[in-house]
């Protein structure tokens, strides 16, 4: 093996994902040393190497019977950083290699001819087996700024033949369709250039080999890229910031944090590896044990035009349904200059309560909700400024100038959260309202694209030297954290026309994300299957919307509503994550209210904890969005193995009965098996793993089956 600047043997991983004991003496830390010294590992291990301009990780599976490992020609690894107009890759030498504990390795690098250092940490998450990489570039001193033109947050060589590549693609209302590619299709490049996570792809990828699954996820909300290149007996995976139009100046003492990246190899199928990802993401979200309330949201019954006149009479019905929060969506506000009949999206930015719509203010509605035992929620779009906003007129320098152009006077603009004065304005205006009104649930929307962002003219160079998207999203994350710190009991929901900005970065600072603007239950069912590859169920907020599906629902003409699926079917689709209702419930007959209330009660008392904190098993492939599939089924098993819930949906299948294997239970334990509204029986965990028969005589009907240990 060639001489390298630094070559260190990495962490040894067991097949269960837990870290085995490390032989510290096996670490090769000689900057002039020859070759790699691999740690003994039962299943696989990582080798971390510095190769001039590149920092690479090689993931090796367990050696074969002869002790040999497949060699992989990785070619030149991509550079960690590129600088200047000439886009020159920097070369690095190692300064130090430390171990704060047996799960963490920290590496400090120094650029050969620039005052730039890189602190790179590799942390093996003991509970899940994910390798978590964090990289910080730091200007170590000197009068000249460093002009960064490109960075790389991850470079991993997989030394195992890849058979399938999974990724997620979509568009507005059609998020997260699962794509299965093969190495024969060539390299796969996923990216966003919309200034946000984007609808087209998720920053997520999975690789399947003969007996293992590799998962990679980038935790970042701005422009990103993720690429896999199949190469004979393996593949190269790289990603991080999207270097399209990227430019960031570092001055002495400043640093640039690259996106955190998760990477892991699991000796399991995709479903099993996904459960590990869910475990990691749940553990690294705010308030992970807090139950997410069942909400009523005003959007679909009163799209953009809520008022006290329409909402106050709804409070008793919302309470009757068993909802726990009453959320007022877009349209409750006016601009600084007064009332307006403009559409909801043309009044954003100043966040003054409309007295025309709420004569007694929003505090009155909040108090009424609390008196009924309901939490109160409110929609904002903090980053997007309408043409009529007074803030826009007073502070044009706070706006993004995308592609160097000032926003058109008649179009909405995006507030740059990288500008400190703009950040403080948003924080002060929003928190004042949250406090005065009494808000328990904040829905944070973002219905714009940012491209590569851009600074307004005449701002100080200390700001404009930063990449505008990096500055914006670091500001956004700080703002989320500051608002939650000011209101510790607040639930923070993110949205961007659905999943347009749904990623592990933003959901490290918020509780849930509105999953899709799609109102059809059958299409939403397909989205659940896709989006829950990349995200745990608890962060995927969904509502029952199109029932009864009559034409009086604003924005939902009868011709647009899919008639397939009864009310229980539609409720159960919405219950697959965090759950709510946004429908004209004041027009529902009593029998529909009773069906919905029964489902809400069951969800709150028995199902929510299992769905939010348990292990998810996809028992079928993702159904097609048009609904003309076979069966779709998901099983959630509690971590203690004492309970679980099965959701089974018969679509266009000809067969009326299907057998589903329910795993994650104790084989000798006896369980009470209860189909909602139907029979109940007892069975052992072993029998349920062999298969539970579900019979649905009609197409587009569903079954909800609760399984609980007898005597538990």
* Whole-number pLDDT of residue 302: 93
Place of tokens 């003991």: 126
Dump pLDDT digits (tens) for 695-706: 999 999 999 999
| pLDDT band for position 336 (cuts 50, 70, 90) | very high
Give φ, ψ of 407 to 5 degrees.
-60, 140
Dump pLDDT digits (tens) for 626-666: 999 999 999 999 999 999 999 999 999 999 999 999 999 99
Place of tokens 């590992």: 41
Q: What is the pTM of this model?
A: 0.93
Place of tokens 């939902």: 556
Which structure tokens are listed for 523?
Answer: 């299409």
3-state secondary structure of 523: helix
Q: Which residues have C-beta within 8 Å of that of residue 187, sequence separation ≥ 6? A: 227, 228, 229, 230
- Bridge partner residues of 201 (DSSP): 169
Give alpha helix (H) positions in 148-262: none
* Whole-number pLDDT of residue 555: 52
* Whole-number pLDDT of residue 32: 27
CATH of 295-514, one of 3.40.50.300, 3.20.20.70, 2.30.29.30, 3.30.70.100: 3.20.20.70
Give alpha helix (H) positions in 564-646: 567-574, 590-602, 608-613
* Whole-number pLDDT of residue 42: 41
What gap in Å lies between CA 424 and CA 282, rounded to an integer? 30
What gap in Å lies between CA 160 and CA 232, rounded to an integer? 9
Dump pLDDT digits (tens) for 104-129: 899 999 999 999 999 999 999 989 99
Find out whether 492 and 511 touch, Cβ atoms under 8 Å.
Answer: yes
Mean of pLDDT over the chain: 91
What gap in Å lies between CA 584 and CA 671, rounded to an integer? 39
* Rg, the chain, Cα only: 26
Find out whether 519 and 583 touch, Cβ atoms under 8 Å.
Answer: no
| pLDDT band for position 546 (cuts 50, 70, 90) | confident
> CB count, 10 Å around CB of 61?
21
H/E run at residue 707: strand 701-709
Cα atoms found within 13 Å of the Cα of residue 214, Cβ hemisphere only: 29
Dump pLDDT digits (tens) for 407-435: 999 999 999 999 999 999 999 999 999 99
Find out whether 357 and 331 touch, Cβ atoms under 8 Å.
Answer: yes
What gap in Å lies between CA 686 and CA 225, rounded to an integer? 44
550 or 174, which is more confident:
174
Helix axes 468-486, 420-433, angle to 10 degrees: 30
Q: Which residues have C-beta within 8 Å of that of residue 183, sequence separation ≥ 6? A: 162, 163, 165, 230, 235
618-709 has which CATH code?
A: 2.60.40.1180
Place of tokens 């966003």: 192
* Whole-number pLDDT of residue 66: 53
Topology (CATH) of 73-283 = Beta-galactosidase; Chain A, domain 5 (2.70.98)
Q: Which of 659, 680, 672, 658 is nearest to 707 (CA)?
A: 672
| pLDDT band for position 29 (cuts 50, 70, 90) | very low
Compute the average pLDDT of residues 242-266. 97
Residue ranges of the domains in the chain? 73-283, 295-514, 618-709
Find out whether 159 and 72 touch, Cβ atoms under 8 Å.
Answer: yes
Task: Assess whether the previous peptide bond of 548 is cis (omega < 30° from 0).
Answer: yes
Find out whether 156 and 59 touch, Cβ atoms under 8 Å.
Answer: yes
Place of tokens 């590149």: 54
Place of tokens 């803030």: 391
What gap in Å lies between CA 202 and CA 506, rounded to an integer? 13
260 or 4, which is more confident:
260
The strand ranges marked E within 203-324 are 204-208, 213-219, 224-231, 234-241, 248-250, 255-257, 260-266, 295-297
> CB count, 10 Å around CB of 409?
8
Three-state SS letters, 69-87: CCCCCCCCCCCCEEECCCC
> CB count, 10 Å around CB of 481?
15
Cα atoms found within 13 Å of the Cα of residue 208, Cβ hemisphere only: 17
Measured over all CA atoms, what is the biggest interatomic distance in the chain, rounded to whole angstroms? 80
* Whole-number pLDDT of residue 690: 98
Find out whether 447 and 345 touch, Cβ atoms under 8 Å.
Answer: yes
Dump pLDDT digits (tens) for 192-238: 999 999 999 999 999 999 999 999 999 999 999 999 999 988 999 99
Q: Looking at the predicted structure, is the pLDDT value of residue 45 above 90? A: no
């Amino acid at each position: 093996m060639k001489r390298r600047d630094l070559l260190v043997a990495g962490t040894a991983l067991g097949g269960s994902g837990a870290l085995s004991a490390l032989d510290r003496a096996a670490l090769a830390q000689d900057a002039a040393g020859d070759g790699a010294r691999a740690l003994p590992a039962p299943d696989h291990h990582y080798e971390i190497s510095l190769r001039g301009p590149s920092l690479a990780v090689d993931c090796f599976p367990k050696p074969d019977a002869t002790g040999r490992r497949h060699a992989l020609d990785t070619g030149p690894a991509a550079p960690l950083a590129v600088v200047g107009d000439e886009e020159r890759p920097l070369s690095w030498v190692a300064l130090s290699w430390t171990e704060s504990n047996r799960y963490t390795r920290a590496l400090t690098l120094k650029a050969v001819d620039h005052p730039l250092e890189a602190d790179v940490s590799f942390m093996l998450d003991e509970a899940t087996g994910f390798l978590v990489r964090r990289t910080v570039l730091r200007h170590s001193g000197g009068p000249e700024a460093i002009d960064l033109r490109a960075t790389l947050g991850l470079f991993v060589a997989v030394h195992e033949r890849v058979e399938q590549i999974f990724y997620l693609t979509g568009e507005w209302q059609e998020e997260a369709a699962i794509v299965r590619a093969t190495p024969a299709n060539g390299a796969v490049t996923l990216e966003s250039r919309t200034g946000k996570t984007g609808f087209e792809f998720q920053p997520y990828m999975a690789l399947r080999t003969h007996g293992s699954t590799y998962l990679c996820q980038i935790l970042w909300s701005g422009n990103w890229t993720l690429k896999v290149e199949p190469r004979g007996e393996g593949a190269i995976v790289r990603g991080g910031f999207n270097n399209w139009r990227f430019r960031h100046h570092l001055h002495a003492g400043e640093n640039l944090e690259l996106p955190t990246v998760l990477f892991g190899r699991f000796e399991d199928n995709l479903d099993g590896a996904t459960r590990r990802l869910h475990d990691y993401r749940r553990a690294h979200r705010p308030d992970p044990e807090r139950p997410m309330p069942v909400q009523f949201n005003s959007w679909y019954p009163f799209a953009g035009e809520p008022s006290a006149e329409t909402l106050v009479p709804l409070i008793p019905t919302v309470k009757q349904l068993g909802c726990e929060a009453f959320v007022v969506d877009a349209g409750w506000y006016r601009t600084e200059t007064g009332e307006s009949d403009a559409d909801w999206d043309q009044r954003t930015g100043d966040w003054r309560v409309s007295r025309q719509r709420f004569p007694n203010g929003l505090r009155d509605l909040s108090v009424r909700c609390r008196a009924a035992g309901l939490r109160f929620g409110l929609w904002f779009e903090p980053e997007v400024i309408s043409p009529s906003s007074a803030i826009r007129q007073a502070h044009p320098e706070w706006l993004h100038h995308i592609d160097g152009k000032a926003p058109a006077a008649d179009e909405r603009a995006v507030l740059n959260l990288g500008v400190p004065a703009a950040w403080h304005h948003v924080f002060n205006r929003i928190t004042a309202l949250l406090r005065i009104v009494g808000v328990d649930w904040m829905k944070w929307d973002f219905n714009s694209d940012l491209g590569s962002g851009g600074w307004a003219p005449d701002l100080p160079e200390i700001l404009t030297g930063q990449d505008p998207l990096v500055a914006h999203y670091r500001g956004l994350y700080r703002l989320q954290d500051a608002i939650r710190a000011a209101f510790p009991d607040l639930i923070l929901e993110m949205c961007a026309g659905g999943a347009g900005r749904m990623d592990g970065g933003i959901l490290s600072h918020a509780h849930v994300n509105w999953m899709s603007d799609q109102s059809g239950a059958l299409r939403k069912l397909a989205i659940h299957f896709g989006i829950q590859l990349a995200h745990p169920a608890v962060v995927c907020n969904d509502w029952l919307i199109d029932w009864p599906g009559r034409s009086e629902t604003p924005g939902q003409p009868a011709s647009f509503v899919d008639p397939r699926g009864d009310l229980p079917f539609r409720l159960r689709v919405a219950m697959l994550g965090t759950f709510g209702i946004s429908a004209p419930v004041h027009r529902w007959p009593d029998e529909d209210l009773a069906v919905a209330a029964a489902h809400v009660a069951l969800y709150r008392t028995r199902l929510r904890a299992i769905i939010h904190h348990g292990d998810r098993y996809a028992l079928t492939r993702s159904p097609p969005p048009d609904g003309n599939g076979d069966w779709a089924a998901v099983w959630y098993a509690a971590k203690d193995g004492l309970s679980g819930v099965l959701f089974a949906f018969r679509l266009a299948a000809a067969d009326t009965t299907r057998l589903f294997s329910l795993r994650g239970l104790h084989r000798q334990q006896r369980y009470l098996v209860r189909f909602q509204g139907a029979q109940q029986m007892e069975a052992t965990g072993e029998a349920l793993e062999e298969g539970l028969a579900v019979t649905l005589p009609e197409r587009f009907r569903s079954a909800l089956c609760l399984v609980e240990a007898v005597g538990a």
